[in-house]
Structure 1
Amino acid sequence: MVDTKLYVGVYQGPDIPQSFRVYAENVQRYLPGQGVSVIPFIDKRSLPKSVDVLWDIRSGGGNPPPHFLLGNHLPPLVVTVHGFAPVALNGWEYFRTLKGLIMSERYANRKRALWEDAHTAVAGIIAVSAFVKEEAVQFTNVSAEKIYVCHHGVDKEVFTTQPGVEPEGYFFHISNGEPRKNIHRIVRAFRRLRRNHNAQLVLKLPEHSARQYEGIDGVRVITGFLKADELADLYCRALAFIFPSLYEGFGIPIIEAMACGCPVITSDTSACPEVAGEAGLTVDPRDENALLEAMLAFCHDMKNRPERVASGLRRGEDFSWSKSAQCHVGVLRKTAQIGCRIDES
């Protein structure tokens, strides 16, 4: 039996990264079946007038909700927080420029100040991992009691095993190419691997960050749009997926790879070990030797690969967009009961 209909205004502004849109679309497709009606809006002018709760899906990089969502006489506000990478990492690791190194502390302080102004208007935070919840407590001034962990999911109709497909001897990496994705260390470790092994490295990156890796021996760079089934095929045929990020709020590619039967090498920091569990081979992402040893393990010890594949498949079963949507609905219904914000000053 479905609870009373819940009307949710979902902020989908023009500045939302594609990965956030994928998250929101996957969660929202399960909401109507749980008695939730979604009313999207993109700015203050299109703010819906009669909803039970407002939901901002796009808080990443330490950014608080936009100011127009913080006023009085509005429905309760729920914010999905994806992470605080530019606040948590030092300037060189996040920006990898001298200007970024110099400006990073000022940037972080500004984001903290904005959250200081915003936190009293936030009725609830959906953190995409327990790691992000800990950081939200630290950086937003929102109390832990108002922060709920709802893990992401994986589309198992697309990201699944392909019976009969054997690994083709390449390590695979996909990301947005930001410095925190640690691609320069992946490539350095791989070039050392190539001295004695005929492995390949396939990088799926945006064009602007791919240029510097073109022409490197053994490296194949893919740019441009990939359909989901094409991405799944790359996972299925890879020797292993390598994802040693310096910072991840969640890391959806980890569970996409596992669901496809692709073993995962990932970081022992941020949300990566939380998501990978015991199924992932975790390493210190700042240790190039550790990355090399992890890749060598898959080159030398193929007999243990099936065990890692099976472990990853079991871990992948722990995540689904349906389960994630149920968690979201619980948070949205709970915060909707708070009622309209009023000025208590």
Structure 2
Amino acid sequence: MKILIDHQIFSSQKYGGISRYFVKIANKMNQFGENVCVCAPVHRNYYLKESGSKLSKGMYLNSFPPKTTRIIKAANHYLSKLIVHNLKPDIVHETYYSLNSLANKNIVLTVYDMIHEIFSNSFRNNDITSVLKRKAVERATHVICISENTKNDLITYCKVDESKISVIYLGIEKSFVMPEQLLPSKVCSKSFLLYVGSREGYKNFNNFITAFVASKKLVQNFNIICFGGGSFDKDERDFLIEKGLSEKNIAQVSGDDQDLAGLYRNASALVYPSLYEGFGLPLLEAMAYNCPVICSSSSSIPEVVGDAAEMFDPYDAESIQNAIERVVLDNSVRTDLICRGQQRVKLFSWERCARETLDVYRRVLS
């Protein structure tokens, strides 16, 4: 089977869950003997670069020149059309949402969440992701959703026939972490709670901070480390100062997967207060590194964590505070969550994800 994965997400992400997902399953499917090509003529994706020329013949740039992203994406689409014409793949798998496809048939699309539809106020008025998503879903032969929750939301908001959708969970595996890559000393000086990802509206970061500062025990004994999401902007800095937090209490750091793995391994817990997730890969990542998970009881999150996390009502700061205290102030609870997490992650693998994706491709072709 000749499978082509399009360039879209690799033109956008240097790191990120979506691009990692496609590289992981593409590598697995190649190992199974399938012919898989990531069609990204010019890209800036670290995972694709690390996979070497076997997976993609594209050119890697560490970063795109200023104000050229749109031009490069357009060039990628044009060049990819030529590649598709010559390669004649059996399946084209679209990695994100676009106005036009590279193919006219046998198109598979992955839908990750319905955040733009449910939390439309969190995005700019000129954001057309929802429009592009609807068009991509309509033209797709089959749609993969990464959770049952996303599938149900897709049916609700886009009126898609359920028979057109398959649910395939993401996978998880550890990255190797050298001892010297664990953490800088300034982070290790005090026990800390870990927050991963962006901090925009629906991520519910402010409610987490409100819950944290309401507890004298938490403030006295723990710092907060935020990984990713960019540096704190002025509004965030003002909010943190208003809550009585300074750089002595909270820090934002960035890095690669190795750096994140080190944080998981050293954190007292991952706190994941999001109001909505299509899946929530950091939840499983934390479990894989023996980091107890404290998280929302909303959207797809209970579906992913099962009984291996301490859950709270994300709209209730007191509920968040109580859940954090139950875990980080009681070693027996923390140890139990670590053990449950070790068992939970065994249910999720990239091999299983790849095999189930191949099953979808075969159904499309039949």
Partner of 1:342: none
- Counterpart in the other structure of 2:48: none
Q: How do residues 324-339 of structure 1 correspond to structure 2 at under 5 angstroms?
A: 324-337=353-366
Helix, strand or coil for the counterpart of 2:174? coil
Identity %: 23
Deviation, 1:222, is 2.8
Following superposition, the deviation at residue 177 of structure 1 comes to 2.6
Q: How does 1:22-101 map to 2 (within 5 A)?
A: 22-39=20-37, 40-41=39-40, 42-47=76-81, 48-49=84-85, 50-58=88-96, 65-69=97-101, 74-89=104-119, 91=121, 94-95=122-123
- 2:208 matched to 1:186? yes
The answer to whether the Cα contact below 8 Å between 2:2 and 2:90 also exists between their aligned partners in 1 is yes
Q: Output the CA distance in 1 between the equivalents of 2:270 and 2:361.
A: 35
Residue 10 of structure 1 pairs with residue 5 of structure 2: yes
Q: Which structure is higher in RCO with an 8 Å CA cutoff and minimum separation 6?
A: 1
Gaps of 5+ in 2: 41-75, 179-187
Would you say the 8 A contact 1:159–1:259 is kept in 2? no
TM norm structure 1: 0.80
Instruction: Tell me the TM-score normalised to structure 2 length.
Output: 0.76
How far did residue 268 of structure 1 move?
0.8
Report the Cα distance in structure 2 between the residues aligned to 1:270 and 1:303, rounded to whole angstroms: 28
Q: Residues 276 and 328 from structure 1, CA distance in 2 versus in 1: closer, same or farther, beyond 3 angstroms?
A: same
SS at match of 2:4: strand
| Candidates 123, 133, 139, aligned match of 1:121 | 139
Q: Are residues 309 and 195 of structure 1, via their aligned partners in 2, closer, same or farther at CA, if it must alter by over 3 Å?
A: closer
- Given that 1:7 and 1:36 are in contact with CA atoms closer than 8 Å, whether structure 2 keeps it comes out as yes
Please list the CA deviations of residues 253-280 of structure 1 after superposition, one character each: whole Å capped at 9, or x if unmatched: 0000011111111111111111111111
Cα 1:168–1:318, aligned 2, differ >3 Å: closer, same or farther?
A: farther
Cα offsets for 1:32-71 (capped at 9, x unmatched): 122322231441442212010110012xxxxxx4232187
Output the CA distance in 2 between the equivalents of 1:153 and 1:167: 33
- Alpha-carbon distance in 2 for matches of 1:336, 1:21: 25
Partner amino acid, structure 2, of 1:266: C
Q: 2:193 aligns with which of 171, 184, 190?
A: 171
1:223 equivalent in structure 2? 253
Q: Is the 8 A contact 1:154 1:256 kept in 2?
A: yes
Distance 1:158 1:295, change over 3 A: same
Which digits, 9 at most, give the CA deviation of each residue in 1:129-184, with x for residues without a partner?
11111112122333111111111111234489xxxxx9963111110232221111
Specify the alignment match of 1:156 in structure 2. 174
Shift, 1:118, TM fit? 4.8
